[in-house]
Amino acid sequence: MIDFDQKEILDVCQAAGTVHDYRIFKESLADILPKHIIALMDSAYQGVHDYLPFALIPFKSSKNNPLTDDKKAFNTALAKGRIAIEHVNREIKIFKICKETYRGKGERGLKRVKLIASLYNHRLVS
């Protein structure tokens, strides 16, 4: 979870094995986040409106339902807003432990990723 205005990492979640981002969201964050926040999310979070009514996710097109010009403009604006979030992800993945599968023991991986997140946040302050 990232604070959009300050580009600060607020929290890091972990799951064992290969787990979809939306499932991690439902199991760890859906109950603790306030319902009134505006969240910028990618298309993997279809159905998030059950948990966050003000979440912004891009529209998807299909073969029989192409996007209108307004929906394309919305998707473009949302992508421009999300680019800051993707830049934070890139900064964190410079550290090899965040980019690849962690092969260490137990909860040490989560502790190390939280340490890297705090180093990133400290870099923003100084």
pLDDT attached to residue 68: 94
More confident residue, 5 or 78: 78
What is the dihedral sign for C-alpha 75, 76, 79, 81? negative
- What the block records as the tokens of 13 is 């979640």
**82: nearest Cα among 117, 41, 21, 48:** 41
Other Cβ atoms less than 10 A from the Cβ of 37: the count is 10
- What the block records as the tokens of 11 is 């929290």
Mean pLDDT of 26-47: 83
Task: Specify the pTM.
Answer: 0.74
The count of domains in the chain is 1
> Which pLDDT band, with edges at 50, 70 and 90, does 64 fall under?
very high
Question: Is the pLDDT score of 42 beyond 90?
Answer: no
Q: How many angstroms separate the first and last alpha carbons of the chain?
A: 21
Q: Which residues contact 102 (CB under 8 A, 6 or more apart)?
A: 109, 112
DSSP run (H or E) holding 87: helix 69-92
Domain residue limits at 110: 2-125
Calculate the average pLDDT of the chain. Answer: 85
